[in-house]
A and B are shown apart, each in its own frame.
Chain A
Amino acid sequence: EIVLTQSPATLSLSPGERATLSCRASQSVSSDLAWYQQKPGQAPRLLMYDASKRATGIPARFSGSGSGTDFTLTISSLEPEDFAVYYCQQRSNWPYTFGQGTKLEIK
């Protein structure tokens, strides 16, 4: 099973700042990595797929990069609605797995 490790566990930033979230895989997942956003009491929302492609309706301030084992989700300028938990997820090998999440909180 591929283990995804996200860092940091918690990120405290202010609106307007840039956020950089990391995800490292225990073995190569090529570009088969996605990012999700989850707010309290809600289902996850697909943000990025294939490491760098934005899902439908996702604002351009969200971008993804990386391949192999190291990936990054960047939010260029934080909006108040961006504060949430973010998960990375791989679909390279079954079982698909998620990272443990990064909580993005308001500083």
Chain B
Amino acid sequence: EVQLVESGGGLVQPGGSLRLSCAASGFTFSSYDMHWVRQGTGKGLEWVSAIGTAGDTYYPGSVKGRFTIFRENAKNSLYLQMNSLRAGDTAVYYCARAAAGTGNPDYWGQGTLVTVSS
């Protein structure tokens, strides 16, 4: 059974940093692209970052230069290093696996809440 379990969320002050982790199991982690997607309370979904199997990374303009996605295949883990956090980064952050051949996330974790507030 495919499982994705996020951790590392919490309360952080504006300008602070946080690292999210996603533990993957039930599939060959190294063979799949992985994504982070966030959702503000009562809001829609926003792509935060993506990483390919070769380590290529992608970011939207809203987080580029502040967030870093990386993976440790030996640990079946995905990470999101978030620096210079802003109030607008407050959201539930989901880790998601991209379906082979399509790139669309087919499995999602339960999410971890990040709150940026003083």
Footprint of B on A, CB under 8 Å? 1, 34, 36, 43-46, 49-50, 55-56, 87, 89, 91, 94-101
Q: Could you pull out 25 A-B pairs where Cβ atoms are within 8 angstroms? A: A1-B60, A1-B61, A34-B102, A34-B104, A43-B96, A43-B108, A44-B45, A44-B94, A46-B104, A46-B106, A49-B102, A49-B104, A50-B102, A55-B106, A89-B104, A91-B102, A91-B103, A91-B104, A94-B58, A95-B47, A95-B58, A96-B47, A98-B47, A101-B44, A101-B45
Interface size class on chain B is 20 to 34
B101 to chain A, nearest CB (A): 9
A-B contacts besides A44-B37, A46-B99, A98-B46, 13 pairs, CB < 8 Å:
A1-B61, A43-B94, A43-B109, A44-B45, A44-B94, A44-B105, A49-B99, A49-B102, A55-B99, A55-B106, A89-B45, A94-B50, A100-B44
Q: Mark B37-58, 1 if CB is under 8 A from A, else 0.
A: 1000000111100100000001
B83 in the interface, Cβ–Cβ < 8 Å?
no
Contacts of A56 in B (CB 8 A): 106
Q: Is the CB of B60 within 8 A of A95?
A: yes
Q: Is the CB of B45 within 8 A of A98?
A: yes
Contacts of A99 in B (CB 8 A): 44
Contacts of B45 in A (CB 8 A): 36, 44, 87, 89, 98, 101
